[in-house]
Amino acid sequence: MTKIEFLTEFTRYNEQIESALAAQNFDRVVNLDLARRSMLHDFASANAPEDDKHFFEALEACAADNARAISQMTSEMSQTQQATGAKLRGLSGYRN
């Protein structure tokens, strides 16, 4: 796999992860992330690092996108957890 092919596929994984996050399909997010990490590990094992500014900038951009997506997912999960907790507290009065 060439660096161009790797970056194309890596970017595709990132786009799919963002779509899965938007759909709140967290199982898909985990599976896509595992596949992407495996691809990164395989590529890094087979290719010696080179002083390729474009390649590393592309990886850094992907990492920044991932960090943003993780922050967004964490925030959404926290909001969902808070909303669920509030609903459960509201419904607990009906149990008694």
- pLDDT per residue over 16-67, tens digit each? 988 888 888 888 988 998 898 888 888 877 776 666 777 778 778 877 877 7
66 or 4, greater pLDDT: 4
- 3-state DSSP helix/strand/coil percent for the chain, to nearest 5? 90, 0, 10
AA letter at 85: G
Instruction: Give Dmax (Cα) for the chain.
Output: 68
- If one counts the domains in the chain, the total is 1
Q: What are phi and psi of 47, to 5 degrees?
A: -125, 125
Return the number of other C-beta atoms located less than 10 Å from residue 43's C-beta: 17
Q: Residues 7-17: what's their mean pLDDT?
A: 89
Q: Which two tokens stand for residue 73?
A: 């997912």
User: pTM here?
Assistant: 0.64
Query: Alpha carbon of 75 to those of 25, 50, 71: distances in Å?
Result: 15, 37, 6
What domain range includes position 38?
A: 3-95
Q: Which two tokens stand for residue 75?
A: 């925030």
- Rounded CA separation 71/61 (Å): 15
